[in-house]
Amino acid sequence: MSDRIRYGSVCAVAVLACAWIAAPASVFADAPAPDARQLGVTESLLTYCSKVDPPTADAYRAKIKQLVEGKSQETLVKVRNSDEYRKARASLDAFVSNVNQRNARRMCTNGLKTHH
């Protein structure tokens, strides 16, 4: 696969992943728990980006903090044990395991740009 195609794929997935985590907090204001898919994607990106682009990790930590703010530990355990959370996390984990190392930092940075 050419680097151009691979880069396009990285950008496309980064945009889609960040669209999941980019929803404004007001969308979930009535929900007693954070969106499981959004939390799974964000935590997966944090894990990945902490290794390949540490400067972006703080921004992902801030997003997670926003998602879980005011939620009980019991609620968070239930969310993290849900199928939706596990599928979202596994899907992104599988994708980033195939990202070319030359594009890894760009993926983390582009992901942050899409949800400001």
pLDDT tens column, 33-53: 899 999 999 999 999 999 999
From residue 85, alpha-carbon distances to 5, 50, 56, 62 in Å are 29, 20, 22, 19
To 10 degrees, the CA torsion angle through 75, 80, 81, 82?
90
Residue entry with tokens 């740009």: 113
For the segment 88-92, the average pLDDT, to the nearest whole number, is 94
Q: Which residue has the higher pLDDT, 27 or 84?
A: 84
Q: Which residue has the higher pLDDT, 113 or 43?
A: 43
pLDDT at residue 112 above 80? no
pLDDT at residue 85 above 90? yes
Domain chopping of the chain, boundaries: 3-113
What is the model's pTM? 0.69
CA 113 to chain centre: 13
